[in-house]
Structure 1
Amino acid sequence: MQHYLTTAEVAAHYRTAPGTVRYWRHIGYGPKGAKVGRRFLYPAAAIAKFDDELLAQAVSEGTAPEVQSGASATGNDEAAGVQPAASVEQVHAPTH
């Protein structure tokens, strides 16, 4: 049996607002779905296909995140040599 996602579930998957997913549908972007009754549903296979397209595009543009193994992949950023973000005190806002 095929698994379907709602607009809200697709939005959560892409970490965006449901309105953004509706806009994507309006402009013909994003995963393909179909209206079923009053709801618009997206097959899980369409989500996977769109994810693959996004990754392929990112790779061709050179913006794909690198998959790392070791300390960083396990969440141990300190051992991986990852520097913490600047604290609020270190950031200097322009004065007027």
Structure 2
Amino acid sequence: MQHYLTTAEVAARYRTVAGTVRYWRHIGYGPKGAKVGRRFLYPVTAVEEFDQQLLAATASHGASPEYQPGESAGNDEAAGYQPAASVEQSAPTAK
């Protein structure tokens, strides 16, 4: 038998409020669920799949590369950093 979570239970799992989970549903983000009567329920398998997607995204984007000896840490020019061109600020014009 499939086990389902309520919106409040999903919110507690992600340490947020139920309104955030409802917003996620509105924008098409988060675990997939279905409306059953007056309630929106989320299958545990869908929540676990969403967890795996979050972990995969974090692993590919959130992890910083290891520092390699011999690299110049803090040398922005060697890393290809180019400072932005200066922007002149003009005084507001009187109307």
TM-score range, shorter chain: 0.5 to 0.7
Give the aligned CA root-mean-square deviation in angstroms. Answer: 1.3
User: Per the alignment, in what secondary structure is the counterpart of residue 15 of structure 1?
Assistant: coil
Percentage of identical aligned residues: 75
Letter in 2 for 1:27: I
Instruction: Find the aligned partners of 1:13 and 1:57 in 2 and give their Cα distance.
Output: 18
Q: Return the structure number with greater helix share.
A: 1
Instruction: Find the aligned partners of 1:39 and 1:62 in 2 and give their Cα distance.
Output: 34
Instruction: Find the aligned partners of 2:62 and 2:44 in 1 and give their Cα distance.
Output: 27
Q: Superposed, which structure 2 residues align to 1:17-96 within 5 Å?
A: 17-63=17-63
Q: Is there any run of 5+ residues in structure 2 with no aligned partner, and where?
A: 65-95
Instruction: Find the aligned partners of 2:47 and 2:9 in 1 and give their Cα distance.
Output: 11
User: Per the alignment, in what secondary structure is the counterpart of residue 32 of structure 2?
Assistant: coil
Letter in 1 for 2:41: L
After TM superposition, the score normalised by the length of structure 1 is 0.65
**Deviation of residue 63 (structure 1)?**
3.6
Instruction: Find the aligned partners of 2:47 and 2:14 in 1 and give their Cα distance.
Output: 10
Size of the alignment, in residue pairs? Answer: 64
Residues 15-67 of structure 1 deviation map (CA, whole Å, 9 limit, x = unaligned): 00000000000000000000000000000000000000000000001349xxx
Residue in 1 that maps onto 2:79: none
Letter in 2 for 1:51: D
Name segments (4+ residues, structure 1) moved above 6 Å.
Answer: none
After TM superposition, the score normalised by the length of structure 2 is 0.65
